[in-house]
Structure 1
Amino acid sequence: MRSTLRTGMTLCVTFLLFLAFNLVWIGKLPDIRWDLSQQKIHTLSPPVYPLLATLESPVDMYYFNSNNDPKRSYAVKRYGKRIEDLLKEYEKKARGMINLHVIEPAPYSEDAYKARLSGLDENTGFLGLISTSPGHGVRRIGSFSLEREPLLEYEISHLLYKLQHPERPVVGLLSGLSMDESAGRLLQAVRREFELVALEPNAALIPEHIKTLMVVQPRMLPERTLYGIEQFVLRGGRLMMFIDPLSEQRSTAFPANSRLDEVLAAWGIQMPTDKLVVDSLYTPWETPDMPNRVRLNLPRQAMNLNDISTWNLNRVTVSSSGALVQLNKSRTTFTPILQSSEQSVLLEANQSPRATKSDSLIEEASSRERRHVIAARIEGPSYSVFSDGIKGLPPGLQTAAQIHVVVIADTDMLTDKVSDAAPDGNALFVLNTLDNLSAPDMLVAIRPRATQDMPTVLEGMREVARQAYRSKASELERRLQRTEQEWQRLSPWTTTLGTQAVETNTQLQALNKERLRLPMELNTLQREAYAQVRRLELAITLVAVFAMPLTLCLIAWVVFLGERRRRLQAGGIIH
């Protein structure tokens, strides 16, 4: 009895000491956090700190997270928690300039009504942010997307900057093409977001107040203008340039300028002027037997999702585009933004891309699995190709330690005719890029941070299986594609409302059998290639599920045996 009382008193005293420690001392301990992730995704990037220091007035941030929504996956729930942790880090480092309000809106509640009224997306439950600041209005992120997780820090920082600086950035426009009629809608969208300043095509100097420049088909601009563009880039200006081997728009009266290739080489890239990208996978079909070879509908798989230019994009359409290539001895960083698929090839610009010969070339290129870069971001050191200046102007800057250029090997994507094929896609791509280029250095310096883990044995096996599958599946995929094209050519392209007779054409029946058989063969091939990977995944799952229960059972069994032996020994001593 006395032993039981002593044990109870000990437990009570221990509990009281623990409670007193938490109430009195826990608040006085230093707030120490260790970020052990590979990309330091739980720690703010160094460029964020000067951004927070520039906050002029307090900011209220309302984070809406429907964490208990039944439509939400575990991955999105995890992402929602990471967003909350990162926002708390912003609040902490802002030293009182940010007030974070975490709201979990219940269905049909007042909070849900406010979130809906503010324009937040609720397709899979609310996961958005609203920020307000006295005298600066309201800004929002309608929905955080798991696909944009590497850009999370940039999204939040961009919102804070735009909230404090709502004025439109100045963007200069230099065009070697007549864009007013052909690209009127896109230019109108740019003018809504930026103060667009149209410069004379023969301008030799870019005004100092212009920090961001949009140039279209500089090959049709005079040499003095090309010199001005180069000097603008060397002095730290940001450039978005559209070049095209075969533009469908009407050019200006100036003759073609051959020195553009030298400027591109100084930036570490080149674009063949006589080559077009033709892609059988991304080619839209206008009629059953006539694909539009010169036009490419680039889906998200063709985009660099870690680049700001592809923010919220689903599709970009280009037409008669060229290909950008990084030079071997280039010192600049070449980051692809838009690429063709592996089923693409470069054709001569003067060759009809609708010719039958292109099909055989594409099939041959598909076996090489090479993608062609249509848009890229160029950063790094550069030099001037006009070392002696030009006539009437003295030599300018000769070198630069860091340039910021985005080059797109297509000009027709700006036209209303092409951009209408991707509503909001082409315009949003241009707006995203200009917005990023016109942002301050501290915002541009915030780089995407992927959340990928270190490579594992399982990932290595997946890569080996993928390569094995691709090596065997390429021919089947090409046969399936040819079958689909032939089937579309022979079958009715459009159907009218009502009933139709069933087509009993023998060739169509054979094609239908092929359309069913080839996907089944591909599926079987995929199962065989990934069989070893799936066995290992199953083994890992079983270990993860049963390891802890079995360990606890083993410990309990050892404790039981030890206790049983102790009792037996005690009984033997008594007897």
Structure 2
Amino acid sequence: MLQKQRTLATGVWLVLTIAAFVAVNVLSGALFRNARVDLTAEGLYTLSDSTQHVLDNLAEPISLRLFFSEQLSRDIPQVRDYERRVRELLEQYVASSDGLIELERIDPVPFSDQEDLAVVYDLQGVPVSSAGERLYFGLVATNSTDDTERIPFFEREREAFLEYDLTRIVYDLANPRRVKVGLVTSLPVAGGLPTEESAPTDYVPPWAIHGQLLQLFDVENLGPEPTEIGDDIDILMVVHPKTPKPDVLYLIDQFVMSGRGAIFFVDPFSEIEFSYIDPQQRRIYIPYSNLSELFQPWGFELAPGEVVGDRLAARKVSIGGGQVVDYILWLALLNPSFSNDDVITANLERLFMHSSGWLRPTEENPAPGFASLVRATPQSMSVERFRIQVRPDPTQLLADFVADTETRVLAARVTGTLPSAFPDGPPGTDDAAEETEPVQADHRASTEAGHLVIVADSDVLADNVWVATREFFGRTSAVPTADNGSFVINALESLAGGGELIGLRSRGSSVRPFTVVQDLEREAETRYRETERALQGQLQETENKLRELQGTVAQEAEEGAPILTAEQRETIAEFREQIVTIRKRLRDVQYDLRSDIDALSARLEALNSYVMPVLVVIAALIVPLVRRRRRQSR
């Protein structure tokens, strides 16, 4: 009887346990549907503070329509996985918007009204069958005034920028009035012919940075030498100005004196402009830009005729023959080079620059509000511009590298009081006129609200420096490989007094450089490169001697002498033996170049394969012992 009661009690307890387990799962699924733990280093699966700030400031409802072909994607698991990622993130937007964002999921079945709606919204359909069926995976967002934003197709390559793309859409719909940027440039940033002599076939499409600007700002192209800058221009963006006329300089000066923000991209050697020049003119043409007539009165300057070489930030380039070297003029700058106290650069991860110059305050009247945004590493030096005028030699530049103690600022912010570079008024008046005509009434002699950003590189904007293009079913998309675009947009939003998206834009990159491995590579390369150059010199010298001796033997043979004397045979054999020995030593040096990296890989593999399992086993043995002792102590 007692046994039956125990069995019954056990059964009841088991049933109640299962019921409680099911109830807890059902309730948790209902109550904590959007709860999750994000263990990624950068919180990639958690809404950022910037996104939450945008959602908290919504004043009108926004409707989101997610178009996804449920049936057609059944056999494409990678697309379904990414759709789940997008949908879950959109659900977080809905949950965090206090009811102002609604999400509708639409399945555009082939040849249905839903598919017709996707076509009306110009979403991209990817063909998946010979019957003409198309898979859709896009987003359409609208506000209360029927303004529309869309993502034609969610591409997996842009997963790192997913939150930015979504938040930008919400922000644009919530803030229809955009800041207006006036673009002054001699480069085809907005597309066009690169030079006046270019043929129509040389047309350059708009740069990727221009497309990003259009997503957030109204951009008006003012040309290389504008005749006026309208009062509706909020920010002035001056890119690689080529010896502007005094009237243009005065317009820029007075714009700055009005207290509106301006960003300047000047360059001691613009590689992108140099690529547009006729090869026959490259020996005498210097692709530089500077605004010293404005910068020096404002209290800073671009170091004339100097580009920055940086050993630690150098990007690797191939020089042929399977050799890869650090090119000290192509910089991949990481976080230590950025100002962590400025919203423009605080969240950047990497910035690519080519043949950049550097900025410094003037000695006579240094700008009091001059602050570094981006600087070279302590392992940097100045390189005279003439060394890269014709054909730069990365190997020789690396061999000649000697770091100094100079702090080189590659990009800076200047704020505060600035005097006009034209204290006597507009240019072009002669002395007689100055005696009889007063300075124009609307002339501004200074400003207390100066707000400038200066970048000593124009290549930082060029596509070939920071953008990789991807083809997706006939549609070309630009995928950033660095934060150059984020840097420019951050700067413009800061100059405009905004910044809601600054903390968000650089969150997305999932690429994490192996800095320890990179440091080991640089150390090993520095250690062995000198030995390798010496051996290559010996090899070249020995091969030259062998060819010279063989040529002498051939000439003597034509004159009737014996083909080879014993001494010549012995010398040739020695040279060949030396060549074999030197080549073996070269192989050993090149092997040693990777030894530290391989040793690090072996240590990491040992840590993952042996140490961690041992720790788990030890923990598994210790935990039961601790529990047993606790039970015994009770």
TM-score band w.r.t. shorter chain: 0.5 to 0.7
- Specify which of 395, 402, 406 is matched with residue 444 of structure 2: 395
For 2:254 and 2:477, the matched residues in 1 are separated by 31
Map Cα deviations across residues 244-286 of structure 1 (whole Å, 9 max, x no partner).
45876799xxx986424426755xxx4322235689977898x
Letter in 1 for 2:296: E
Q: Deviations over 1:341-382 (max 9, x none)?
A: x99961244x674489x77861434464999989x6544634
Q: Is the 8 A contact 1:380 1:404 kept in 2?
A: yes
Inter-CA distance 98–221: structure 2 relative to 1 (3 Å threshold): same
What amino acid is the match of 2:243?
Answer: M
1:544 aligns with one of 612, 618, 622 = 612
**2:53 corresponds to 1:49:** yes
- Tell me how far apart the structure 2 counterparts of residues 544 and 33 of structure 1 sit (CA, whole Å): 27
Please report the RMSD computed on the Cα atoms of aligned residues, expressed in angstroms: 6.7
Tell me if the contact between 2:358 and 2:411 (Cα under 8 Å) persists in the aligned partners: no
Q: 2:524 aligns with which of 469, 474, 477?
A: 469
Q: Which residue of 2 aligns with 1:446?
A: 503
The SS at the match of 2:383 is strand
* Structure 1 unmatched runs, 5+: 289-294, 487-505, 566-575
Give secondary structure in 1 for the equivalent of 2:230. Answer: coil
Task: Spell out, residue by residue over 1:224-255, the C-alpha distance to the aligned partner (whole angstroms, 9 max, x if none).
Answer: 5435435545734353534445876799xxx9
Query: Which residue of structure 1 lines up, in the alignment, with residue 64 of structure 2?
Result: 59
Q: Is it true that 1:209 corresponds to 2:209 in the alignment?
A: no
C-alpha offsets along residues 183-215 of structure 1, whole Å, 9 cap, x if unaligned?
884486659956534268375x63221234332
Contact 1:275 1:347 (8 Å CA) reproduced? yes
Q: Would the aligned equivalents of 1:480 and 1:518 in 2 still touch at CA under 8 Å?
A: yes
Alpha-carbon separation, structure 2, partners of 1:50 and 1:559 = 49
In the alignment, the residues of structure 1 paired with residue 576 and residue 352 of structure 2 have an alpha-carbon distance, to the nearest angstrom, of: 34
- In structure 2, stretches of 5+ residues that fail to align are 109-113, 129-134, 188-192, 322-326, 426-438, 470-475, 542-572
Distance change >3 Å, CA 364–CA 18, structure 1 → 2: closer
- Structure 1 residues 468 and 296, CA, compared in 2 at 3 Å: closer, same or farther? closer
Please list, as runs of the form range in 1=range in 2, the aligned pairs for 1:50-199 lying within 5 A after superposition: 50=54, 53=58, 57-62=62-67, 86-100=89-103, 118=124, 130-133=139-142, 136=148, 138-140=150-152, 142-145=154-157, 149=160, 151-161=161-171, 170-175=180-185, 181=196, 185-186=203-204, 195-198=219-222
Distance 1:548 1:27 in 2: 35
Highest Rg: 1 or 2? Answer: 2
Partner residue of 2:13 out of 10, 13, 16 = 10
One of 358, 371, 374 as aligned partner of 1:332: 371
User: Which one-letter code corresponds to 2:613 in the other structure?
Assistant: V
Q: 1:534 aligns with which of 584, 588, 602?
A: 602
Q: State whether structure 2 residue 302 is matched by structure 1 residue 271.
A: yes
Question: Does the CA contact (< 8 Å) of 2:183 and 2:219 recur in 1?
Answer: no
Aligned length: 495
Alpha-carbon distance in structure 1 between the residues aligned to 2:598 and 2:536: 23
* Deviations 1:492-514 (CA, angstroms, capped at 9, x unpaired): xxxxxxxxxxxxxx999999998
Match of 2:383 in 1: 346
Q: Does 1:409 align with 2:457?
A: yes
Q: 1:485 to 1:363 in 2, by over 3 A?
A: farther
C-alpha distance in 2 between matches for 1:185 and 1:136: 31
Report the Cα distance in structure 2 between the residues aligned to 1:474 and 1:364, rounded to whole angstroms. Answer: 9
Distance in 2 (alpha carbons) for counterparts of 1:212 and 1:53: 25
Query: 1:54-102 deviations in whole A, cap 9, x for unaligned?
Result: 5654122458998997889xxx98x998766543322222334444578
Report deviation, 1:118: 1.9
Deviation, structure 1 residue 37: 6.7
Cα 1:479/1:232, change in 2 over 3 Å? farther
Residues in 1 aligned to 2:611 and 2:69: alpha-carbon distance in whole angstroms: 37
Identity %: 17
8 Å Cα contact 1:173/1:196 also seen in 2: yes
Q: Letter of the aligned partner of 2:594 in structure 1?
A: Q
Distance 1:80 1:367 in 2: 52
